[in-house]
Amino acid sequence: MRVLGLHQLPENCDIAKAELIKKPDGYYIYLTCYIDKKVEKQKQEKINKPIGIDFGIKHQLTLTNGIKINYRIEETKRLKRLQKKLSRQQKGSKNYWKTKQKIQKEHQKIYNRRKDIKNKILSLLKKYEYVLIQEEQIRNWHRGIFGKQIQTTGIGGIISMLKQNIETLIPVDKYETTTKVCSRCGNRKEDIKLSVRTFKCEKCGLVIDRDLNSAINILKIGLQKVEKTTIKNLPTDCGDVCSANRRHEVEQVTPVEKQATARILGSNPYIRVSYTSVKQEAPNFS
């Protein structure tokens, strides 16, 4: 039997187990290999700084360095056409089972695209020293008016993958206020509509992207929480809470991060990456 894709195996790896798997679009061999951890860590380039992530609907992921990651894999026109054709065919006939098999193959393609996006995002985030996220109530998102958009993005699956595969993941409590609080001075707004995409602080005059402001707050809250236990001297601006010798500015995206993002995410045509400025200021409103 001819096998394609063996070039994906790492060098000097020991094959421990092989399984033959049948899928709607063909047969696959699932290989389990042993790789030397020391050699693998040396090959991986690390970004020595923490990163905060805000999950959203308009922009699926917003990082504290200004990187925005957008993607959406919806049902294809071909899938809808095949489902319509299946509904008109006689159940149990040969043409019925042929159409059903085509539908299964189309579902497999969509699943593979979504899985590839998740794996690429995970590969990028694993390069950071610490990853901070907020515990989101994805079930409540599905019940709202944006339920279909959330389903096509699979944000819940990404959060699950981060929890399972990143050892330095730092979760922030879901009840922490991150959207309504100014990331510079800590001033809190009473309410901010979902349609308002820019956060404006009346106290210090900060004008910043709404999702970016939330991501920075997630980073600060998470680091303040862990700072009391194990992690020390992490580079972030903690505002008035931190002492004067511990104050640092949230860093802009570096050339190394841009190169890593372009190399990892650029190969997938369904992922769109944009950049926004971390420092956006306006004069005081007083």
pLDDT tens, residue by residue, 194-228: 888 888 888 888 888 889 999 999 999 988 877 66
Q: Are 170 and 222 in contact (CB under 8 A)?
A: yes
Note whether 32 and 59 are same-domain residues. Answer: no
- Which phi and psi angles does 141 have, rounded to 5°? -65, -40
Note whether 202 and 156 are same-domain residues. Answer: yes
Note whether 79 and 210 are same-domain residues. Answer: yes
Note whether 17 and 157 are same-domain residues. Answer: no
Note whether 5 and 79 are same-domain residues. Answer: no
Domain count, the chain: 2
Note whether 22 and 52 are same-domain residues. Answer: no
Assigned domain for 52 exists = yes
Most confident of 145-149, 176-180, 240-244: 176-180
Cα 174 to chain centroid, rounded: 17
Assigned domain for 283 exists = no
Assigned domain for 31 exists = yes
pLDDT band at 252 (very low <50, low <70, confident <90, very high): confident
Note whether 73 and 9 are same-domain residues. Answer: no
- Which phi and psi angles does 235 have, rounded to 5°? -75, 95
Note whether 231 and 121 are same-domain residues. Answer: yes
Assigned domain for 124 exists = yes
Assigned domain for 285 exists = no
Provide the token pair at 258. 């841009």
CB contact set of 46 (below 8 Å; sequence gap of 6+): 127, 128, 129
- Tell me which H or E stretch contains 55: strand 47-55
pLDDT band at 118 (very low <50, low <70, confident <90, very high): very high
Domain that holds residue 233: 47-275
Residue with tokens 């599905």: 142
Q: Is pLDDT above 60 for 42?
A: no
Note whether 55 and 1 are same-domain residues. Answer: no
> b/e for 267-279, b at 16 or more Cβ within 10 A?
eeeebebeebebe
Assigned domain for 66 exists = yes
pLDDT band at 35 (very low <50, low <70, confident <90, very high): confident
Assigned domain for 92 exists = yes
pLDDT band at 3 (very low <50, low <70, confident <90, very high): confident
What CA–CA distance (Å, rounded) separates 206 from 210?
Answer: 11
Note whether 120 and 233 are same-domain residues. Answer: yes
